[in-house]
């Protein structure tokens, strides 16, 4: 990959390098109108203003929307061209953008918004390390994985309405909990509130009911990736999940990062995934490298204190990749729409430092974690903030996601 240099001053360690250029929706803090932008360094390229200046060949109207759905629906031929045109404008020494720097806005001066209208949301369960850890804790340690796990990308349909942009507080959920050794459940705020380190992909094309997407074609239907924290109330979920799976223990909130990093920007960071054994059925077979080497970090910050890193993981660990997830999701003819979110499931690595949830890090609450300020945690407490970050880096080129953060508010 050829390393590019911009005439714009971009911090060397920025997630938003000239090689990245992710898309998002922002508004100026004082004026308040939402519009589409591209992140570059600590600034944003205002795409509506860029189109009004006729520096890109897309109607300004598309970029004045409150979401990116209409833009994404134009197709990759258009969206990729916009990204590459902006890249060229930021690289060329005689770029006309240099004379129109009012098109560049400081990120510190804007408010970020959820970048898409999410019609549907699906959460997968695709990390073999995470599934094995959960199986060891709650089932037979010798047979931690359920019989279907290595045959299908397990998933469930979640609640799209409660997905919020990074920085939005989450209120501690209440629900039914079955106390240990009790004979009847009680109603109370969750005492085992957890994060789940995930990434999500955003669908970029519609399909018709009855159609399926193959693993070969799946990348054409994936616009880009985001960081995703799928909050989980473990005690509520434990009581409710039999026989139909997660419900109130998950639907109270999920947090998403505001910038969508395109698949094209992540192309240099593709790696081979884990060997799948037994062999998968033909519709789940794929060729080439389809995992991504994206370094992930989770920090937990108590109120009025410092952040403490509790996990360092990587998307490359995923047993089931995105192509397989989308192929399985649509194999029965289920249709998808532009802006659907499909999350990876908790991303855990092979050792304790890379576990993607407090459930695993504290091993079901039996191993408290000591934070930098001396306090301890087994699960998330009120007014704690969870911060997730992610980036890919190779040959001096960095493509990052920024962060997704959320603070837990008391239940009442």
Domains in the chain, CATH or no CATH each? 23-113 (2.30.30.230), 121-409 (3.90.850.10)
The residues annotated with a catalytic role in the active site are 130
The pLDDT score that the predictor gives to residue 299 is: 98
Per residue in 297-337, pLDDT tens?
A: 999 999 999 999 999 999 999 999 999 999 999 999 999 99
Phi first, then psi, for residue 157 (nearest 5°) are -85, 125
The pLDDT score that the predictor gives to residue 31 is: 74
- As a whole-number percent, the residues of the chain with pLDDT over 90 amount to 97
pLDDT band with cut points at 50, 70 and 90 for residue 384: very high
Q: Report helix, strand or coil for 22.
A: coil
| CA-to-CA dists, residue 412 to 33, 177, 382, angstroms | 33, 17, 11
Contact 102/49 with Cβ under 8 angstroms?
A: yes
Per residue in 10-60, pLDDT tens?
A: 999 999 999 999 999 999 987 779 999 999 999 999 999 999 999 999 999
- Tokens coding 372: 């930098």
| Beta-carbon contacts of residue 406 (< 8 Å; ≥ 6 apart) | 164, 166, 167, 168, 169, 170, 229, 231, 253, 255, 385, 386
Question: Alpha helix locations (H) across 201-344?
Answer: 234-240, 248-251, 263-266, 322-330
| Beta-carbon contacts of residue 10 (< 8 Å; ≥ 6 apart) | 16, 17, 18, 40, 41
The pLDDT score that the predictor gives to residue 305 is: 98
Q: Report helix, strand or coil for 145.
A: coil
Distance of CA 283 to the CA centre of its chain: 25
pLDDT band with cut points at 50, 70 and 90 for residue 177: very high
pLDDT band with cut points at 50, 70 and 90 for residue 139: confident
Average pLDDT, the chain: 97
The pLDDT score that the predictor gives to residue 41 is: 98
Per residue in 358-375, pLDDT tens?
A: 999 999 999 999 999 999
């Amino acid at each position: 990959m050829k390393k590019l240099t911009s005439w714009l001053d971009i911090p060397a360690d920025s997630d938003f390098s000239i090689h990245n250029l992710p898309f998002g929706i922002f508004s100026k803090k004082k004026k308040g109108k939402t519009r589409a932008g591209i992140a570059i360094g600590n600034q944003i390229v205002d795409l509506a203003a860029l189109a009004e200046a006729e520096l890109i060949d897309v109607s300004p109207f598309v970029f004045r929307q409150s979401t990116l759905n209409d833009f994404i629906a134009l197709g990759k031929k258009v969206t990729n061209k916009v990204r590459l045109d902006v890249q060229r404008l930021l690289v060329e020494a005689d770029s006309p953008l240099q004379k129109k720097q009012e098109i560049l806005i400081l990120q510190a001066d804007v408010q970020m918004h959820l970048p898409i209208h999410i019609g549907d949301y699906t959460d997968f369960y695709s990390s073999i390390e995470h599934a094995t850890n959960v199986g060891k804790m709650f089932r037979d340690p010798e047979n931690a994985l359920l019989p279907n796990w290595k045959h299908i990308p397990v998933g469930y349909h979640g609640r799209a309405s409660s997905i919020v942009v990074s920085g939005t507080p989450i209120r501690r959920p209440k629900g039914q909990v079955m106390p240990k050794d009790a004979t009847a459940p009680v109603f109370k705020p969750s005492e085992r509130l957890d994060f789940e380190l995930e990434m999500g992909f955003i669908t970029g094309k519609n399909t018709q009911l009855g159609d399926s997407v193959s693993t070969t074609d799946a990348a054409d239907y994936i616009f880009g990736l985001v960081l995703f924290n799928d909050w989980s109330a473990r005690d509520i979920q434990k009581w409710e999940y039999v026989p139909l799976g997660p419900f109130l223990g998950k639907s109270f909130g999920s947090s998403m990062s505001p910038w969508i990093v395109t698949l094209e920007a992540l192309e240099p960071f593709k790696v081979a995934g884990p060997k799948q054994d037994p062999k998968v059925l033909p519709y789940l077979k794929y060729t080439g490298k389809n995992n991504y080497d994206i370094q992930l970090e989770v920090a937990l910050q108590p109120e009025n204190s410092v952040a403490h890193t509790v996990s360092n993981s990587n998307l490359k660990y995923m047993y089931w990749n995105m192509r397989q997830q989308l192929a399985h999701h649509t194999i029965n003819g289920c249709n998808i729409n532009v802006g659907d979110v499909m999350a990876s499931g908790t991303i855990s690595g092979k050792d304790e430092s890379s576990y993607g949830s407090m459930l695993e890090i504290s091993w079901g609450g039996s191993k408290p974690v000591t934070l930098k300020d001396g306090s301890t945690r087994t699960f998330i407490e009120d007014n704690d903030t969870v911060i997730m970050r992610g980036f890919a880096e190779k040959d001096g080129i960095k493509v990052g996601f920024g962060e997704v953060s959320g603070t837990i508010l008391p239940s009442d």
